[in-house]
Structure 1
Amino acid sequence: MAIKRNRRFHAEVATSSLSDIMFFLLLFFIIISTLANPNVIKMTLPKAESTEKTNKQLITLSVNENKEFFIDKEPVNPEDLEAHLLAKLGEDKSQTVVVRIPYNLQVQDLVNVLQIGVKNNLKFVIATNKN
């Protein structure tokens, strides 16, 4: 009695690793697309877990709840903010400007202040509480 065995070759594609590869590609493209956004305001953010002291000269730009502006505790008119800030910096544009703004003001108020730094190529840091 002759039993014929099926010796045909069946092509198989292993798809178990394809989902892992697609996940890594998706993650890679999401990270790259957020880094390549040209409309982002570039600034350095302070770490809120610990306080660090630096020897750099800092200029403090404060805004209170009434939208009154102060540069190193000196009141400044909002229309003259950019001119006073540039006069305070002088020729040394490498100084860091620390922005102290209350949490309950609108985001647009913060963006208006940060646009001064973007336009004049200055370093701005947003002050936070240690929480």
Structure 2
Amino acid sequence: MELKRRNKVSAEFSMSSMTDIIFLLLIFFMITSSAISQSAIEVKLPQSAAGDPNVQDPTSVSITEDGKYFVNDKEIAKENLENYLVNELKGVQNPTFTIRADENTKHKDVIFAMGIAETHKFNLAIATTEQE
């Protein structure tokens, strides 16, 4: 006697739950990505007062392509640069200097001057020109 099974196992896979999950993930990523980009756009930068009398011209460190250092147009040997800057900025309320490096200057020369600023907690600015 042959018995027939009444419950057949279906080999089909229902994709409806998978599409729901993918749809929810898509909505989640769309919402989070737009929220991130909006917050970056809404940053308001502070404005500076033009002609503030308390601001003094910072000391300028120029670095030529061949690695020569100049402080306020006076040539200084690399070995003496740190001592010269410390003496130059001693007693200044906000010690600051600007690095003016030639576009072909080696990175190690610029990093050397930046290291001096980091060691002595000097404020630092790097001069650039506007692109045309």
Q: The TM-score by the shorter chain falls in which range? A: 0.5 to 0.7
TM-score, length basis structure 2 = 0.61
Higher helix share: 2
SS in 1 for 2:115: helix
CA RMSD of aligned residues (A): 2.7
Does 2:6 match 1:16? no
Identical aligned residues as a percent: 19
Displacement of 1:54: 6.2
Identify if the C-alpha distance between structure 1 residues 22 and 106 changes in structure 2 by more than 3 Å, giving closer, same or farther.
farther
The DSSP-based 3-state class of the residue aligned with 2:22 is coil
**Higher RCO structure, 1 or 2 (CA under 8 Å, sep 6+):** 1
Structure 2 unpaired stretches of 5+? 1-15, 37-49
CA–CA distance in 2 between the matches of 1:20 and 1:61?
53
Are residues 1:83 and 2:77 paired?
A: no
How many residue pairs get aligned? The number is 97
For residue 95 of structure 1, report the CA deviation from its aligned partner. 3.1
- Residue 21 of structure 1 and its aligned partner are, at CA, apart by 3.6
Q: Give TM-score scaled by structure 1 length.
A: 0.61
Determine the structure 2 residue equivalent to 1:96: 96
Larger Rg: 2
SS at match of 2:21: coil
* Alignment check: 8 A CA contact 1:93 1:122 kept: no
